[in-house]
Amino acid sequence: MLEKRIITFANAINEGLEQIMQKDKNVIVMGLGVDDPGGVFGTTKDLIKKFPKDRVFDMPTSENAFTGFAIGLAISGKKPIISHQRVEFSLLSMEQIINQASKWFYMSGGKVPVPMVIRLIVGRGWGQGPQHSQSLEVLFSHIPGLKVVCPATPFEAKGMLIESIKDKNPVIFFEHRWLHLTKGYVPKKMYSIPLNGPRLMKKGGDITIISFSYMLIECLTVSKILSDNNIKAEVMNINVLNPLNIKKINNSVRKTKKVIIVDNGWKNYGIGSEIFTRLFENFKKNKIICERMGIANSPIPSTISLSKFSYPTKFSIIKKIEQIFKKKIIIKKKYFSKIPSDQPDKNFLGPF
Amino acid sequence: MLEKRIITFANAINEGLEQIMQKDKNVIVMGLGVDDPGGVFGTTKDLIKKFPKDRVFDMPTSENAFTGFAIGLAISGKKPIISHQRVEFSLLSMEQIINQASKWFYMSGGKVPVPMVIRLIVGRGWGQGPQHSQSLEVLFSHIPGLKVVCPATPFEAKGMLIESIKDKNPVIFFEHRWLHLTKGYVPKKMYSIPLNGPRLMKKGGDITIISFSYMLIECLTVSKILSDNNIKAEVMNINVLNPLNIKKINNSVRKTKKVIIVDNGWKNYGIGSEIFTRLFENFKKNKIICERMGIANSPIPSTISLSKFSYPTKFSIIKKIEQIFKKKIIIKKKYFSKIPSDQPDKNFLGPF
Amino acid sequence: MKKIEKKLLFKMLRIRNIEQAIADNYKFQKMRCPVHLSIGQEAPAVGIMENLRKNDKIVTAHRSHAHYLAKGGNLNSMIAELHGKSSGCAKGKGGSMHLIDLEAGVSAAVPIVGSTIPIGVGISWNMKLRKMKNIVVIFFGDGATEEGVFLESLDFASLHSLPVLFVCENNHFSVYSPLSNRQSKKRDIIKIAKAIGISGSKIHGNDVLSIYKKSKKIINNIKRNTKPHILLLDTFRHLEHCGPNNDNHLNYRSKNYIRKWLDNCPIQNLKKKLLRNKFVTHAQIKNYENKISNEIKFAFKYANISKFPEKKYLLKNIYA
Amino acid sequence: MKKIEKKLLFKMLRIRNIEQAIADNYKFQKMRCPVHLSIGQEAPAVGIMENLRKNDKIVTAHRSHAHYLAKGGNLNSMIAELHGKSSGCAKGKGGSMHLIDLEAGVSAAVPIVGSTIPIGVGISWNMKLRKMKNIVVIFFGDGATEEGVFLESLDFASLHSLPVLFVCENNHFSVYSPLSNRQSKKRDIIKIAKAIGISGSKIHGNDVLSIYKKSKKIINNIKRNTKPHILLLDTFRHLEHCGPNNDNHLNYRSKNYIRKWLDNCPIQNLKKKLLRNKFVTHAQIKNYENKISNEIKFAFKYANISKFPEKKYLLKNIYA
Ligand SMILES: Cc1ncc(C[n+]2csc(CCOP(=O)(O)OP(=O)(O)O)c2C)c(N)n1
Ligand SMILES: Cc1ncc(C[n+]2csc(CCOP(=O)(O)OP(=O)(O)O)c2C)c(N)n1
Ligand SMILES: [Mg+2]
Ligand SMILES: [Mg+2]
C-alpha cells in the first residue's frame, strides 16, 4: 500500500483554496492579510503568487463594509471567500451577515442566491484573553439561511471548504486556530465533502461522544483512553451545525443509549443545548443518559492559571464518563502530557 | 377595594424612565428619536420636556459608535439607557456589546463595572418582513457578563426596567412591540423587581407552560382554554434569560411532570433548547414530558399569508398540548378572534 | 431639450401618481406593510435614471419606490408585492422595503439604514473586475451618511477606483430628527468624500433638469474613467416618514420650512415652466395622467386578483 | 527647555528599555500572551502625555505599553499582568492587551481595532456633561481609521464639541499590510476631520520635542474651548507587529524605508542632540539607565514571585 499523504490542516485549506480557484475563475479570496507573508496562519500562503492580483485581495480593517462588498460580489456572480483571523472581528459585520446575507435568497423570493464563504478563526491559548478566544458558533447557527460548517480534520478542512465554496448559500466556515497545526491524510486531488451532517469518526457501541471542531480532537483521545478501559465509544463529529442533521446521531444513540456532548463553545445556550434537546425529543420512550460539557461560563481569561479551567479536557471528559458508567476509568501515563494547557503542542509559542 | 391602576406597557416604561431619572441624576436616555414626537413608541414621550437637554439625547444613526459612547459614559460614572427601535439595528453594535460591554468588568479584574441598559425592541406584524421582526434573544443570552431581561407585562416592564438601571451590569432589555400596547396594573410609586428568575404567572398542577415576552401572553390565553377543559396549567414567565435561574421551574415541573416551552424566537438553537436541556439534566430519574415550540425556521416573510404560520399561536400550542395529554381540547368560540394575525388588536395598523 | 423635459415631467408625474394611489388606498388595509413614500423626492430618481442603461444597476433603501419605478421596475410586481401576493417582485416575502427587479437593474432595497451602500460597492467592484462599462448608483438618505459603513464604502471605492455613483438625498430629516440633532453644522459630505479621494457635487434636489444634465456628465465620466463620484441633493418629503399621511401637525418641521419646500415642488415647477413655454399643454398632461391612472388601476386590480403564496412557501427559498 | 528635553529623553529611554526587557525575556515563556511592542514609537506617548494631568484620561489599543507607561501606569502591575499574575493590573485576566491603571488615568486598552475610539469619546462626553476641565486622549493606529466607528466617533465629537484629542500613530502598516493596500493615496484624515468640523494637525511622530510643544498648545486649546482635535503622527515600529522579534527578513517593508526610519530613531536623535548641546552627559544617561534597569529587575522579580490567581477567580467578576 502506498504511504498516505499527510499534511497540516492549514495546508489543506491552502490547497483547497488553490484548487477551487484554479477551477472556478469566479472565486475570489479577500480579507486582512490574505496576501501577506503570514498568509492567514499559512492558509492563504502564496495564493498571491499563483493568481492574478485581482483574485486575492488584502482588505482594510473595515469588516462591516467588506462583508457587504462580498455580498455585492456574490449576488452579481462572483464567489467571494472572506476570512477573519479571529471570529471576534466578524462581530463588526453581524448586520450584514444576519440581516442581509442569510436572508437575501429568501427575501428576494428565491431570485438571488448569495454564494459566499466567511472563514472565522477561533482563537485559543497563549493568553489570547477575553477578546481573542471566543467560539460563538451558536450565534450563527441560530440563523436560518446560514450554513455553519466546522471541520475538525485536515481531510474535512479541504473537502468541506471546497464544498462550501461550491454551495450557493452563505457558509460560515469555522476554523479552530489549534486545528491549523494538526496533521492528517489529505488527498492531493480536488474533492468535496457534502455538507449533510455528522461524520462518524470512530465506531463503538457503548457510548456516543458528540463533538466538533477542536474539542473533537480531545474527544478522540478520550475514546482511546476508553478503549484501554474496554469501553467502546462511538465518536460523532457534528461538522455541520446548521442545518443540523441529527439522523446519524439518532442511530448511534439508539445503539448506545449513552451520550456525552462536548461543546466547543460556552455551554449555556450552546450548540450542545440544541443537540441535547433534539436527542430527548427523539428518544421519548427509550431512556437515554446524556451529559453535556462546554466552556466555563465566563469570559476566557488571559492567564494560563485560570484559562486551563475554562475548557473541557480529556480528564474532565473522562470524569463525566466515569459518572455515566459509574466506574473508575484508568488513564495511562502517556496521556499525561507535559505541554502546558495553553499550547496545543511544543511548537506553538504564540505570540498569537 | 380601590380600583387598580391600569396603564399600558409603553406608559409603564415611560413612567419607569421618568421616576428613575428623577431619582438618579446619572441616568441618561439616548437613542434614535428619544426626544421626538413619537418618543420610541411612546416609551420616552415627554422626557425631553421634563428633564434638561443633557439627559435626553437623540442620536445619529451610528449604532456601533453610540454603544461605545454609552460604555464610555458607564465606566466613568453615568448610567446610560440606549434604545433601538428594532433589535436588528443593534446588530451593528455587536462588537461593542459582546467583546466590550459584557467583558469589561471581568477583564479589568473586577475594577470597572459597566452599568448600562440596552433596550431592544422586537418587531412583529403588519408586514415588517425579514429585517424588522427577528427576536434574537439567544444571541445575547449566550454571552456571560450580559444580563438579558424580557418583561411580559406592564408591571414587569416598569419594575424590571428600574431594576435594570440600578444594576451595575450591562442589561439587554427586550421589549416586544406588541407588548407596548398591552395594559395592566402598574403601581404609581417607584418599585423594582429583582432580576432573579422566572415569575409564576398562574398556579396549576397539571402542566407547566414556560414562555417569555409576547409569547407569554399567548400562553396565558392557552391556560384559560385549558382551564375550560379542566386542565390546570402552571404558567412560568422566564423574564430573565441570563443568568438563567431554573430553580422555580424545577419545582413546578417536579409537580406537573409535563412541560411545554414556547419560545419567542426561532426554535433552533433557541432559548427553549437551553431550558429543555436544563430540565432533563435536572430530572434524570423522574420521567417528564417536554415539548418545545418556537418561530418556524425561516426568515419571517412580509406577507400575512405566510407570516401567520411563522409564529406559534394559541391554536398550535393547544394542539401540542393535546398530544401531551392525548385528548381533545375544546376551544370556546370567544377565543376565535376576527383580528388578522398581523395585528395584536384592531388599533394596530402599522405602518410600523 | 423640449422632448427630454417633457419626458422628465411625465416620469415624475407617473411616480407621484402611483405613490399617491398607494397613499389613497392604504386605508383599505390590503397593503399590510410599512411604506416610505417618495412624494416630493421624485427628481433625483428621475433625473439620474434617465442617464442609465438597463445594465447599469441601482441599490436603494427603505424609501425606494421612486428609484424602483424610475429605473424601470415593473409596476404590477411592485403593487402586488405591497399586497403580499405571490405575483409580487419578491413573491410577497419582502414587502415594500425589499423591492427588486433584476431585469430592470434594481438590485436591492433594504430597510436597514446604510446597509446597501457596501453591497452596491461590491456590485460595482465586480463590474470593474469584469471590465464592464456599467456603473452602480447607490441611493441613500442624509441619515445613512452617519453609519460608519458609509465611510468604509467611500474609502474602498476610492482605493480601487470603482465605477459607482453615490447619491445622497438630503431631506434634512431622519424620521423626526433634524440634521442639527445628528450632524455638526460644519459637516460637509462632499468635502469628506474629497478628503478620501472622491470627487463630488451638489445639485438642487428638486431641479430635475439640472440633475439630469449634470448627472449625465458625471455618469459619462464615471464610465470613461472608472472613478467614483458623490452627489448631494437637497430635497423634501411631503408626507410622514413612514405611512400614507401628512404629519405636519406634529411640528417637527417648521411651517416656514414646509412652505418653502412645497413652493418648490419638482413637479409643479417643471409643469408650470413647460406650460409657460408651451412645451406641453394642459390637455397633454391630462391625457398622460389618464394613461397613468389606467396603468395604476390595472396594477391594483392585478394585485387584488393575484393569489397569496401558499403555506408551503414559508419554508421554501431558505437555501438556494 | 533643557530640563524638559532631558525629561522627555529619559521617559522615552525608560519605555524603550522596559520594552526591550520584555522582548529579551519573552523567550523564557513566562509572559504567555501576545505582546505588541512600542519600540520606535515612544515619542507620541511621551510628548503628549507630558502635557496631561492625572485626571486627564487616555484610551488605547493593542500597542499600548508606551501609552500606559508614559501616562504613569504602574510598571510592576503591568509586568505582573504580562505574567498572568493576580498582582497584575487586571489580575491576570487581561494580559498585555488589556492594560488598565485607573489611578494614572489609563482607562482602557483593548485589542479590537478601533473599539476604544467611541469609548474614549464617551468618557470625554461625560467630562463635558460634568463640566470637568479635563480631556481624553484616544490613541490608535493608521489601520483603525479604516473602521467606520472612527468616522462615527469624529462626527459625534464634532456635533457635541467634546474635549477629546484623537491621536493617530501612523506607522504605515497594519500587521504586514502597507497603507497602499488599504487606503487611497489621496486619503487625508486631517482633511476628513476638517470636513466634519474638527481641526487637525500633523507633527513628525519621532520628534518628541515638537510633539510636546505643539500638543501643549493643542491640549490647552481643547481644555479652554472644549473642542476636539486630531493629531496625525508618522512613525515606525522597529520590531514585528506582534512578538519580541525583528521581522525585517520578511521584506514586507523595504530596506530603504527601514533604514530611513532607523536613522530617525526618536531616542537616538534626541540623545545625540542633548549630548551635543551638553544638556546631558554620557554619565547621566548611564546613571539613569542603571536606575531603570533596577526598576525593571524589580518589576520582573515582583511578577515572578507574585501568585497566580486561584481557580475560584475563573468564575469571579463576571457580574458586578
Ligand atoms: C441601522 C438602522 N438604524 C435605524 C433605523 C430606523 N430608520 C428607518 S428609516 C430611518 C431614517 C433614515 O434617514 P435617511 O437616511 O435620511 O432617509 P429618509 O428616511 O430621510 O429618506 C431610520 C433612522 C434603521 N432602519 N436602520
Ligand atoms: C476589528 C479588528 N480587525 C482586525 C484585527 C487584527 N489586528 C490586530 S492589530 C492590527 C493592526 C492594526 O493596525 P494599526 O491600527 O495601524 O495599529 P499598529 O499595529 O500599526 O500599531 C490588526 C489588523 C483586530 N484586532 N481587530
Ligand atoms: Mg433623510
Ligand atoms: Mg499601523
As given in the structure block, the three cell numbers for residue C311 are 403555506
Residues C251 and C253: their CA atoms lie apart, in Å, by: 5
**C291 pLDDT more than 80:** yes
Distance CA A170, CA A188 (A): 26
Residue A2: pLDDT over 70: no
The answer to whether residue C264 scores a pLDDT higher than 60 is: yes
State the best of A26, A106, A240 to mutate against chain C, taking most chain C CBs within 10 Å: A106
Are B127 and C95 an interchain contact pair (Cβ–Cβ within 8 Å)?
A: yes
Catalytic positions of A are 63, 132
Residue D113 near ligand 2, beta carbon < 6 Å:
yes
Cβ contact C313–B126 (<8 Å) = no
Cβ D175 under 6 angstroms from ligand 2: yes
Average pLDDT of every residue of chain D: 98
pLDDT tens per residue across all 352 residues of chain B: 567 899 999 999 999 999 999 999 999 999 999 999 999 999 999 999 999 999 999 999 999 999 999 999 999 999 999 999 999 999 999 999 999 999 999 999 999 999 999 999 999 999 999 999 999 999 999 999 999 999 999 999 999 999 999 999 999 999 999 999 999 999 999 999 999 989 999 999 999 999 999 999 999 999 999 999 999 999 999 999 999 999 999 999 999 999 999 999 999 999 999 999 999 999 987 789 999 999 999 999 999 999 999 999 999 999 999 999 999 999 999 999 889 999 999 888 877 7
CB contact under 8 A, B109 and D124: no
Compute the distance from residue C146 Cα to the ligand 1 centre, in Å.
10
* Closest residue on chain A to B128 (Cα): A107
Residue from B191, B179, B187, B156 nearest B4 by CA? B187
Nine-digit cell string for D89? 493590573
What's the pLDDT score for residue A1?
54
| Residue A352, pLDDT score | 73
Question: Which pLDDT belongs to residue B208?
Answer: 98
As a whole number of angstroms, the distance between CA B298 and CA A105 comes to 11
When pLDDT is averaged across residues C273-278 and rounded to a whole number, the result is 96
Q: Where are the beta strands (DSSP E) in chain A?
A: 6-8, 27-31, 56-58, 79-84, 116-122, 147-149, 170-176, 183-185, 199-202, 207-211, 233-237, 240-242, 258-266, 289-295
D62 Cβ below 6 A of ligand 2: yes
Residue of A246, A317, A254, A235 whose CA lies nearest to A276: A246
Closest protein CA for atom 23 of ligand 1: C174
User: D311 to chain A: which residues are within 8 Å by CB?
Assistant: 305-306, 309
Delineate the domains of chain B, giving CATH numbers in brackets. Answer: 7-185 (3.40.50.970), 199-333 (3.40.50.920)
In chain D, what are the domains? 2-304 (3.40.50.970)
User: What pLDDT, in 10s, does the model give residues A147-194?
Assistant: 999 999 999 999 999 999 999 999 999 999 999 999 999 999 999 999
Phi, psi dihedrals of residue D271, rounded to the nearest 5°:
-60, -50
First to last CA, chain C: 47
Average pLDDT, chain A: 96
Closest among D130, D127, D69, D126 to D96, alpha carbons compared: D69
Task: Please check whether residue A103 is in contact with residue A145, taking contact to mean a CB–CB distance below 8 angstroms.
Answer: yes
- pTM for the complete prediction? 0.98
Q: Which three three-digit cell numbers place residue D198?
A: 474638527
Ligand 1 center from residue C98 Cα (angstroms) = 15
Of B28, B99, B112, the CB nearest to D115: B99
Q: Which chains touch C (3 or more CB pairs under 8 A)?
A: A, B, D
Q: Which atom of ligand 1 is nearest to the CA of C142?
A: 16
- Whole-number pLDDT of residue A41: 97
Report the residue of chain D nearest C198, measured CA to CA. Answer: D186
Report which bound ligand comes closest to the CA of A89: 2
Find chain D residues with C-beta within 8 A of A58's C-beta. Answer: 177, 181-182
Size of interface B-C (CB pairs under 8 A): 144
Taking each continuous run of H as one helix and of E as one strand, the counts in chain D are 12, 8
Contact D316 B68 (CB under 8 A): no
| Strands of D229-234's sheet in order across | D106-109, D57-60, D136-141, D164-170, D229-234, D199-204
Nearest neighbour of D148 by CB, restricted to C147, C188, C196: C147
> Which residues of B have a catalytic role annotated?
63, 132
- The response to whether residue C62 sits with its C-beta less than 6 Å from ligand 1 reads yes
**What are the backbone dihedrals phi and psi of residue D63, each rounded to the nearest 5 degrees, phi first?**
-95, 80
In Å, how far is B41's CA from the nearest CA of chain D?
25
Any idea which ligand is nearest the CA of D242? 2
Question: In chain D, what residues touch C155 (CB-CB under 8 Å)?
Answer: 146, 183-184, 187
Which residues are paired to B149 by β-bridges? B173, B240
Would you state the pLDDT for residue C283? 97
Task: Tell me, in angstroms, the distance from the centre of ligand 1 to residue A330's CA.
Answer: 63
In the block, residue with C-alpha cell 486545528: A179
Contact D127, D90 (CB under 8 A): no
Assess whether the C-beta atom of C60 lies below 6 angstroms from ligand 1: no
Put simply, the answer to whether A130 touches D183 (Cβ < 8 Å) is no
Ligand 1 within 6 A of CB of B89 = yes
Per DSSP bridges, beta strands B199-202 and B183-185 are: unpaired
Contact residues on chain A for C112, CB-CB shorter than 8 A: 95, 99-100
Whether the ω angle into residue B113 lies within 30 degrees of 0, i.e. cis, is no
Q: How confident is the model at residue C53 (pLDDT cuts 50, 70, 90)?
A: very high
Q: Are strands B258-266 and B289-295 parallel, antiparallel or unpaired?
A: parallel
Task: Nearest by CB to C242, from B65, B302, B352: name it.
Answer: B352
Partner-chain contact A351 D146, CB within 8 Å: no
Contact A277 B281 (CB under 8 A): no
Atom of ligand 1 nearest to the CA of C140: 15
pLDDT the model gives residue D297: 98
C78, containing H or E segment: helix C75-82
Q: Which residues of B touch C29 (CB under 8 A)?
A: 349
Alpha carbon distance A3, B182 (integer Å) = 71
Which amino acid would we find at residue A309?
F
Looking at residue B285, its pLDDT comes to 79
**pLDDT value of residue C278:** 95
Q: How far is CA C237 from CA B60, C42, C234, in A?
A: 19, 9, 10
Task: Pick left, alpha or beta for residue D175 (phi over 0 → left; psi -120 to 50 → alpha; otherwise beta).
Answer: left
Inter-chain residue contact C319 with A147, CB threshold 8 Å: yes
Q: In D, which residues are within 8 Å of A300 by CB distance?
A: none
Selecting from A77, A95, A110 the residue whose C-beta is nearest the C-beta of C316 gives A110
- What pLDDT sits at residue A287? 87
Encode pLDDT of A299-330 as tens digits. 999 999 999 999 999 999 999 999 999 999 99
CA gap B226, C106 in Å, rounded: 51
Helix (H, G, I), strand (E, B) or coil at B329: coil
Cα–Cα distance measured from residue A274 to residue A140, given in angstroms and rounded to the nearest whole number: 13
Task: State the ligand closest to the CA atom of D146.
Answer: 2
**Nearest CA among C243, C279, C263 for reference residue C1:** C279
C212: left (phi over 0), alpha (psi -120 to 50) or beta: alpha
Q: Which residue out of D33, D38, D60, D62 has the highest number of ligand 2 atoms within 8 Å of its CB and is therefore the one to mutate?
A: D62
Measured CA to CA, the distance from residue C275 to residue C272 in angstroms comes to: 5
Cell numbers for B124? 412583529
Q: What percent of chain C has pLDDT over 70?
A: 100
The answer to whether B280 touches B250, Cβ cutoff 8 Å, is: no
φ, ψ of residue D214 in degrees (nearest 5): -70, -40
Nearest residue, CB atoms, A129 vs list D97, D182, D310: D97
Q: What is the DSSP letter of C263?
A: T
Parallel/antiparallel/unpaired status of strands A207-211 and A258-266: parallel
What ligand 2 atom has the least distance to the C-alpha of D145?
15
Question: Is D66 strand, coil or helix?
Answer: helix
Q: Rounded to the nearest whole angstrom, what is the distance from the C-alpha of residue C144 to the centroid of ligand 1?
A: 7
pLDDT of B338: 87
pLDDT tens, position by position, D247-282? 999 999 999 999 999 999 999 999 999 999 999 999
Q: Assign residue D186 a region: left if phi > 0, alpha if psi is -120 to 50, beta otherwise?
A: alpha
* Cross-chain CB nearest to B76 (options D91, D116, D123): D123
For the segment C222-255, what is each residue's pLDDT rounded down to a tens digit? Answer: 999 999 999 999 999 999 999 999 999 999 999 9
Contacts of A244 in chain C (CB under 8 A): none
ipTM above 0.85, yes or no: yes
Distance B217 CA to ligand 2 centre (A): 47
Instruction: Name residues of chain D where pLDDT drops below 50.
Output: none
Mutate to test the interface with D, among A56, A61, A85 (most CBs of D within 10 A): A61
Per-residue pLDDT, A351: 75
